[in-house]
């Protein structure tokens, strides 16, 4: 969490009126909101501790209107923050009081679905789960499945390079998106990638995915669809210690298994979730693993038997296999509903998102347990064990300033610990404003300079989502990572945003 983002002072009323007039000229009807009560619902994303009301909110209904809004804002040099469903957990869509919030929620059409080519062309406001629902009659599905898939949009998934429980086998958003289209900061159209296996020129598609709305505004996405597996079975394995569960994860991967889902929850998490979902979790276990196989019925039966044997050899104290689809979905419902369950037992929770090498899972969870004692806050753990992507849930009360400060410090220490173990400060939630200070420790000066120069090539004035994703040199200087030479900061030619 980071409160240094809010902006400088009150916005000039004349400036606001000028911007709103230009927006209403660009987008007809009631698609521009500027009254305080109208913009209030947009003042935060899923990182709800951070709040800021934008200069105005605009809700274009067509891609052409998105272009017109960007042209108007660029002419006035007004920053623009793009927003999908607002489910992000890093403050990536947090508004800025001097910026226009560009909501893409009305761009919600599935434009084409080709069951032969196994692709779907959708607008950026289409919900993640809606793609699989539309593809289901053709025996297809869209693989990335973040826990918020019922609400999150494909445009937001592209911005954050979202993952989900199936990412170990099927990959992240970047591995399942074939092309994108949209507009530059000046409102000019672009299109990267396409249905062909390769495209000439630089791979700007991979660059754009995960750029958190700082380079371009995406209005259309071409996604890859996959055949829906004929059979699936989920194993629910219990372990006496979190270290043993961590070793079991490493053993499975080392043995050549690539489950379609491999998730871990500690005892605090299972005891938090079970009353909410009644998933059938072992509440005496220190940790549980959810391990799924998919494929043909024969393949699944063989893989499940082999994985059971491996888990038993790794110290599992109990193993249950889903007997039917209803039980499989119930096993997963507990993991998928961990965040709502946290909301039932605590006024607020702070979801972290760091990634570490799998072999260090036990050590990092032990370190987090020690932090719980030091900060006096509970922290259930749920995460994508297969790729080492942690999601500690720090429970606190935001109305208590001391608890809020301790939660922030707790989260920052978790991220520093991830870096110390050879990991990274984000796995799938992005950097946003939440982790931007930790990026000063993650990357050295030359690397951050390269990021800033790349960003400036797309958006020289830094109008798209300012203050997000990449720390400025000045910000890292305040955190001790940049030195001033001869009275002048290095790389003075770079925008300071």
CATH of domain 346-420: 3.30.70.2740
Contact predicate 466/95, CB 8 Å = no
Is the alpha carbon torsion for 204, 209, 210, 215 positive or negative?
positive
**DSSP codes, 354-393:** EE--GGGHHHHHHHHHHHHHHHT----EEEEGGGTEEEEE
pTM of the model: 0.91
What residues does each domain of the chain span?
13-103, 116-227, 231-338, 346-420, 439-489
Report DSSP letters for 303-352, one per residue: HHHHHHHHHHHTT-SEEEE--SHHHHHHHHHHHHTHHHHHHHHSSEEEE-
Q: Does domain 231-338 have CATH number 3.90.120.10?
A: no
Res 52: pLDDT: 92
Domain covering 116-227 in this structure, CATH number: 3.30.465.10
* pLDDT at residue 7 in the model: 45
Rounded CA gap, 6 and 9, in Å?
9
Pinpoint the alpha helices (H) of 55-203: 63-76, 128-135, 154-160, 167-170, 173-176
346-420: same fold as 13-103? no
- The parts of the chain modelled with pLDDT lower than 50 are 1-8, 481-489, 491-492
Cα three-residue angle 292-298-304, rounded to 5 degrees: 30
| Tokens at 90, concatenated | 């890093």
Residue with tokens 């950026």, as numbered in its chain: 124
pLDDT digits (tens, 9 = 90+) for 400-427: 999 999 999 999 999 999 999 999 998 8
DSSP secondary structure string, 180-245? EEEE-TTS-EEEEE-SSS--SS--HHHHHTTSTTSS-EEEEEEEE-EEPPSEEEEEEEEESSHHHH
CA atoms of 232 and 237, how far apart (whole Å):
16
In CATH terms, 13-103 corresponds, of 3.30.43.10, 3.50.50.60, 3.40.630.30, 3.40.50.1950, to: 3.30.43.10
What's CA 353's distance to the chain center, in Å? 8
Orientation angle between helical segments 338-345 and 267-277, nearest 10 degrees: 90
* CA distances to 30, 122, 237, 382 from 271, in Å: 47, 39, 15, 12
């Amino acid at each position: 969490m980071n409160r240094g983002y809010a902006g400088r002072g009150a916005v000039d009323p004349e400036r606001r009126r000028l911007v709103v007039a230009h927006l209403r000229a660009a987008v007809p009807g009631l698609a521009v909101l500027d009254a305080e009560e109208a913009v209030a619902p947009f003042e935060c994303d899923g990182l709800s501790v951070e709040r800021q009301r934008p200069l105005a909110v605009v809700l274009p209904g067509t891609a052409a209107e998105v272009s017109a809004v960007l042209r108007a804002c660029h002419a006035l040099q007004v920053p623009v923050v793009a927003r999908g469903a607002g489910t992000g957990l890093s403050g990536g869509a947090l508004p800025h009081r001097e910026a226009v919030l560009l909501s893409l929620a009305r761009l919600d059409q599935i434009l084409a679905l080709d069951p032969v080519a196994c692709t779907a062309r959708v607008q950026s406001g289409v919900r993640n789960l809606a793609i699989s629902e539309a593809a289901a009659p053709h025996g297809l599905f869209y693989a990335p499945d973040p826990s918020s898939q019922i609400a999150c949009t494909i445009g937001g998934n592209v911005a954050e390079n979202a993952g989900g429980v199936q990412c170990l086998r099927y990959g992240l958003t970047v591995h399942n998106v074939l092309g994108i289209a949209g507009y530059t900061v000046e409102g000019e159209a672009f299109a990267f990638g396409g249905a062909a296996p390769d495209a000439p020129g630089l791979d700007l598609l991979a660059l754009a995915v995960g750029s958190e709305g700082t380079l371009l505004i995406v209005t259309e996405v071409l996604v890859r669809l996959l055949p829906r597996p004929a059979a699936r079975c989920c194993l629910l394995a219990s372990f006496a210690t979190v270290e043993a569960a961590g070793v079991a994860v490493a053993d499975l991967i080392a043995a050549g298994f690539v489950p379609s889902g491999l998730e871990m929850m500690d005892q605090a998490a299972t005891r938090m979730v079970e009353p909410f979902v009644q998933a059938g979790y072992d509440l005496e276990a220190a940790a549980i693993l959810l391990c799924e196989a998919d494929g043909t019925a024969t393949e699944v039966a063989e893989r499940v038997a082999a994985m059971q044997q491996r888990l038993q050899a790794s110290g599992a104290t109990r193993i249950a296999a889903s007997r039917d689809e209803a039980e499989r979905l119930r096993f997963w419902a507990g993991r998928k509903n961990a965040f709502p369950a946290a909301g039932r037992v605590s006024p607020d929770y702070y979801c972290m998102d760091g990634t570490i090498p799998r072999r260090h899972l036990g050590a990092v969870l032990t370190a987090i347990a020690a932090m719980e004692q030091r900060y006096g806050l509970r922290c259930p753990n749920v995460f994508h064990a297969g790729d080492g992507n942690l999601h500690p849930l720090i429970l606190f009360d935001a109305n208590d300033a001391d608890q809020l400060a301790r939660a922030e410090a707790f989260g920052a220490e978790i991220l520093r610990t991830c870096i110390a173990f050879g990991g990274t400060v984000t796995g799938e939630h992005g950097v946003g404003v939440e982790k931007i200070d930790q990026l000063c420790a993650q990357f050295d000066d030359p690397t951050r300079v390269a990021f800033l120069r790349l960003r400036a090539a797309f958006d020289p004035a830094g109008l798209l989502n300012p203050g997000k994703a990449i720390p400025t040199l000045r910000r890292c200087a305040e955190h001790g990572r940049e030195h001033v030479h001869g009275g002048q900061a290095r790389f003075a030619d770079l925008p300071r945003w």
